[in-house]
Amino acid sequence: MPIEPLTHPDATHDPAGYKQALLDIIESHAQEPLEVISRTTATMRDLVAGVSEEALHAEPEPGEWSAKDVVAHLFDVDIVYGFRWRLVLTWDNPTYPGYDEKLFTPLPRLPFWQMLGAWEGLRAMNVVLLEQTPRELWTREGFHGEQGGETFDEMVRKLAAHDLVHLNQAARAIEAYDAAKGPGTADVASH
């Protein structure tokens, strides 16, 4: 049975709808947001283990990101969220801009396996920040230039849902590639 996509409005065209969809996704999920965030890189590494370069570059649907693109995007997101979290924890009610992730994705990148390793290191640092930030500070607020006011806690929940959406997308991309190859013909990576 094919993996069903986790859908949400486009962040650039419907920022408020996108924010609410992410909060709804994590609310309906049976895991603590920090647990999701803490495990995402390991889940991705397990997902891509043994997958060929061709499968890593395959799109689940035309115009959707491949597993390779998802990892690059999640690296960018950890830079952006890490910066926003640090602003919210150190400034009173900071404002930070939104950005169009589709414009970031084609920027120059490391080869896939190095990119995955770089993201794992960056995510590990951000997880330490989250784990060691006292819960009473999770009520601090910032102002997203497109989505409006949000607490540190909402930002964490949004990232956890975002992780789930893109893990789903990467899994669907690999599944679609394997399905197109036919039964018993899954490629194995050589890295």
Q: List residues bridging with 143 in a β-sheet.
A: 95, 149
Distance from C-alpha of 92 to C-alpha of 110, rounded to nearest angstrom: 36
Tally of residues, the chain: 191
What is the predicted pLDDT for the residue at 183? Answer: 55
| pLDDT above 90 for 5 | no
Distance from C-alpha of 160 to C-alpha of 162, rounded to nearest angstrom: 5
Between 5 and 175, the more confident residue is 175
Closest CA to 140 of 130, 132, 131, 150: 150
pLDDT band at 181 (very low <50, low <70, confident <90, very high): confident
Percent share of the chain, pLDDT over 90: 68
| pLDDT above 60 for 189 | no
Burial of 123 (0-12, 13-18, 19+ CB in 10 A): buried
pLDDT tens-digit readout, 64-93:
899 999 999 999 999 999 999 999 999 999
pLDDT tens-digit readout, 105-155:
889 999 999 999 999 999 999 999 999 999 999 999 999 999 999 999 999
Domain boundaries, the chain: 39-181
Token pair recorded at residue 16: 């408020």
Which of the four CATH numbers 3.40.640.10, 1.20.140.10, 3.30.1330.10, 1.20.120.450 does domain 39-181 have? 1.20.120.450
Token pair recorded at residue 190: 């050589």
Token pair recorded at residue 74: 């999640």
Distance from C-alpha of 120 to C-alpha of 125, rounded to nearest angstrom: 9
Closest CA to 186 of 22, 21, 54: 54
How much is the average pLDDT of 46-56? 94
| pLDDT above 70 for 187 | no
